[in-house]
Amino acid sequence: MSDVLFHNVRLLDPAGGVDQPGELLVREGRIADSGQSLGRPDGVAVIDGNGAVLCPGLVDMRAALGEPGFEYRETIASAATAAAAGGITTVAALPDSAPAVDDPAIARLLIARGAETGSLDILPYGAVTRGCRGEEMAELGLLREAGAVAFTDGTRAIGPARLMALALSYLRGFGGRIVQHAQEPSLSEGAAATRGELATRLGLPAVAAEAEAIMVARDIALARMTRGAVHFAHVSTAAALDLIRRAKDEGLAVTCDTAPPYFDLDETAIGNFRTYAKLSPPLRAASDRAAVAAALADGTIDAVASDHQPRDPDDKRLPFAQAAAGGSGLATLLAVTLAQVHGSTLDLGRAVALLTERPARLLGSAAGTLARGAAADLCLFDPGAAWLVEAGKLPGKAQNTPFDGRLLQGRVLGTWKAGRRVFGA
């Protein structure tokens, strides 16, 4: 592993409050120094960034990796390839695999498989319930000891209120957090779109946007009752965000994230039954999309996650109502988030914070910083460079992107894991 000096870069480290032109020195896989001018140490390779942004490797706090059980959709190796191309060096992996991550051995296996890639740290979520079936609580303490960073049933909401309350109470004992898919199950089962004029015109089974707010309101009440910590994933509606905002003002242990489709697209993206845009939760009205974008800027939303859900082509080549929900998102995470910067909704420092320092803090990870001594997990990107998203030409195995055909600004030029280049020439 060679030592490297990054020269002529814009250092952007929200964790350290740094945003300035300068240089960064990597020695033996760790950040040795940074500043305006570090000279030319002997035996160090120099990379001229030509003014590009050098930030911590992105931390993606929500992604399905396909493995184990769904390798025909994605493998850890193919996901690592896509992540590196997107500037991502750390991923929190959902537990609703086959088998589910309800056994400590599977959590340890995922961590080891991530290390084997040489480019990606995998932080496993533990299942809240056995098999993610919402019936019997899993061994949460043992999963935490095995490395689980938080607990969720993935794309299944934890429906029974009593079970949710028990899990919140138990996890409070060791600082654990539940990540909830905030869709009230009895209202959202079988839904393919958001209820409204478009779903009616297309004849699609639909769910009211209120199904999200109903679940958020219930779980905020349970967090208040138990003093437990709950995090709402891929929040997509104004009503839910208003509830979360008030809960934060009250001082409750409530946090949330969203994903790029919910601030960049609205329900019209499903077009004439475009299955690549069938997601869970479904795309919302334009007013909800605008509310999510505003919540990124005002701090209500704590992180942006890829919400990567790989699907096989056969999963999507079905009538819209029967097609599998989910979109790939690793390679597009940064660029779609930067669209909010180019649209003047968000400043660049806050955008990078939502992708690095803030998710790292929520997950209890040491990633997401350019601090001296930290692992040299780095992303070099040109925020103005344009590229076209083309399904079939994305890095990795999963090609089911809702952004197919979209021209984006913001290209990753290079990604480094512990000082070793894992993407870029």
> Rounded to an integer, what distance in angstroms lies between the CA atom of residue 61 and that of residue 78?
18
For 328, the token pair is 């790939």
Q: Cα separation of 9 and 53, whole Å?
A: 6
314 is catalytic: no
Place of tokens 């939760």: 281
Q: d(Cα 118, Cα 170) in Å, to the nearest integer?
A: 35
Catalytic residue, chosen from 102, 288, 302, 307, is 307
Unique residue bearing structure tokens 């344009």: 386
Bridge partners of 258, per DSSP, are 304
Q: What is the 3-state secondary structure (H, E, C) of the chain?
A: CCCEEEEEEEEEEHHHCEEEEEEEEEECCEEEEEECCCCCCCCCEEEECCCCEEEECEEEEEECCCCCCCCCCCCHHHHHHHHHHCCEEEEEECCCCCCCCCCHHHHHHHHHHHHHHCCCEEEECEECEHHHCCCCECCHHHHHHCCCCCEECCCCCCCCHHHHHHHHHHHHCCCCEEEEECCCHHHHCCCCEECCHHHHHHCCCEECCHHHHHHHHHHHHHHHHHCCEEEEECCCCHHHHHHHHHHHHHCCCEEEEECHHHHHCCHHHHCCCCHHHCCCCCCCCHHHHHHHHHHHHHCCCCEECCCECCCCHHHHCCCCCCCCCCECCCCCHHHHHHHHHHCCCCCHHHHHHHHCHHHHHHHCCCCCCCCCCCECCEEEEEEEEEEECCCCCCCCCCCCCCCCCCEEEEEEEEEEECCEEEECC
Are 153 and 129 a contacting pair, CB within 8 Å?
yes
* Residues 94 and 107: beta-carbon distance below 8 Å: no
The CA distances from residue 171 to 129, 183, 201, 234, in Å, are: 13, 22, 45, 22
Which residues form the catalytic set?
307
